[in-house]
Amino acid sequence: MNLNVLKVLTVLIIFSSQVFAEENNNELSFYTGTFDVIDKEGDDKTSLFGIEHKNPDLFRDTFLGEFKPVSGAFITGNSSVYLYTGIEGQYGLGPLKILPSFTPGYYEKGDGKDLGSVLEFKSEIKLGLEIFDNSKLSYSYSHISNNDWGDTNPGTDNQQITFSKNF
């Protein structure tokens, strides 16, 4: 097993155990999708799998809408790893939720795409639909780049399908 995979699995196990140990209302999401979906050469395009945690009790109403902290991690089919934390907004149109987020994080390329820096920024827009009580199915599109702070800044665009459940 690759050392990067082992690191991410360890973090996810610790992270998940702490989430369920708390007595707060927590939202846990699992997602899968395509990393570097617009890759023209096709050599960096791969799958990704991730986990994300949100605590709806930490919503804050602002003049821009409702915001909450979000933390998560994903690993790609090429053993690239991204660990992140940031904020997510929530806007509702009936059962449809629009969830924009901004999450800086740590990126390790593994055997995958070199994004130019270990510090990367993920901007994401997610459209979610409540399918069951306390459950949501979502589609999201994200862009990760280092804002030209790294050696290079090729960036990557990703798309995911997410299942979220409140516990």
Task: Dump the DSSP string for 83-106.
Answer: EEEEEEEEEEETTEEEEEEEEEEE
**Pairing verdict, β 27-35 and 156-166:** antiparallel
**The tokens 């196990």 sit on which residue?**
13
- The helix (run of H) or strand (run of E) holding residue 21 is helix 3-21
Tokens linked to 21: 């140990």
- When pLDDT is averaged across residues 81-100 and rounded to a whole number, the result is 92
- Distance between CA 60 and CA 69 in Å, rounded? 9
Which residues, listed in sequence order, are joined to residue 137 by a DSSP beta bridge?
129, 163
- Distance between CA 70 and CA 52 in Å, rounded? 7
Total domains present in the chain = 1
Flag whether the pTM goes above 0.95.
Answer: no
The pLDDT assigned to 66 comes to 85
- When pLDDT is averaged across residues 110-115 and rounded to a whole number, the result is 94
Domain membership of residue 129 as a residue range: 3-166
Look up the CATH number of the domain holding residue 147.
2.40.160.20
With a cut of 50, say whether residue 17 has pLDDT above it: no
